[in-house]
Amino acid sequence: MILLQQMMVLFIIMMIGYLCRRIGLFGAEASKLLSGIVVNVANPALILSSSINKESTIQGKELALTMGLAISFYVVLLVLAEIIPRLLRVEERDYGVYKVMTVFSNIGFMGFPLLTAMYGNESLLYASLFLIPYNVLIYTYGVGALCKTEETVKEGKKAIPWKKIFNIGVIACIISVILYLTRLRVPQVIEDVTDTLGNLTAPLSMMVIGDAMSQMKIKELLKDKKLMIFTGIKILVIPIIGLFLVKQLGLNPMLTGVCLVMLSTPVGSMTAMLAQQYDGNYELASKGVALTTLLSVITMPIVSMITGI
């Protein structure tokens, strides 16, 4: 019930963004401006806030196991990201978007609020270890994949956008890791600023997706067969298989619950934000985020029920 309630909260915020565009509060440039704030201000602040002045109770073998799980998750997802677009036979220019949608779920914007509601703040200590490789990858692998434009594909070149890859998101990740490892104390005012800005991430990102949805026809969204198949793989097949494997490890219930949220949340809102910022297929990314987010209200409880988590 808590899982469903939190999903409904995020869905309602998304609908507020939808209504803002419909009634004229958002103009044509609003979503791009908000995307810039999310990508360059709010999300980096969220990354920093996860490590600033946080006392970790995860020690020794448990710490190594959690980090090992996080790395294993992303290794498998990166492999699947190379396979799934080919299986679906998507257009080559859209490979990057499908790859990013496969790897990155909405763990920061949706996962963290869900975990807090379900297990309390202690669960975020586990989740933060998943967030470190997530944020490093999304600002490197993610940006690199999205920057491979149609022209680049036609020319047969593999552009590596180093200037775009080494950005504020990566800098925030590096600082976050340093703070996490050194336990360096930061002034309270800085902690308050990062917490406040970080809290903007979820509502702003969901409103941007709602704005994007206002430009879509839901019937057309549901008619995209390849995207529908991808959605089933992303939020049903992968989490169910993954969680059955995770259960064989005999983890404690809280860490198992964290794995549930990490795997079964919809496509990350940052996929659409970055696609817009780095000239990827923003429309496809927004459709992926919108469709998986809409259906995740149903699929996440189903995954939990099937796997018994």
pTM of the model: 0.77
The reply to whether 26 falls in a domain is no
pLDDT at 230: 95
Number of domains in the chain: 1
pLDDT at 161: 52
Residue 245's SS3 state is helix
The reply to whether 255 falls in a domain is yes
Name the residue among 296, 273, 309, 285 with its Cα closest to residue 8: 296
Q: Yes or no: say if 98 and 291 are a contact pair by the CB < 8 Å rule.
A: no
The reply to whether 196 falls in a domain is yes
CATH assignment of the domain containing 216: 1.20.1530.20
The reply to whether 25 falls in a domain is no
pLDDT at 75: 94
The reply to whether 79 falls in a domain is yes
Show pLDDT as tens, one digit a residue, over the chain (309 residues).
Answer: 667 777 788 788 888 988 998 888 887 777 778 878 887 898 888 878 877 876 666 565 777 788 889 999 999 999 999 999 999 988 888 888 999 999 999 887 678 777 877 877 667 777 877 887 887 888 788 888 887 654 444 444 445 556 655 678 778 877 877 887 777 888 999 989 998 998 888 788 778 878 877 877 777 777 788 999 999 999 999 999 999 998 888 888 888 888 999 999 999 878 887 887 777 788 888 889 888 988 888 898 899 888 887
The reply to whether 280 falls in a domain is yes
35: tokens are 């995307």
Farthest-apart Cα atoms in the chain, separation = 54
The reply to whether 251 falls in a domain is yes
The reply to whether 241 falls in a domain is yes
Which structural domain, as residue segments, surrounds residue 144? 2-20+31-307
pLDDT at 83: 94
The rounded distance, in Å, linking the Cα atoms of 172 and 201 is 15
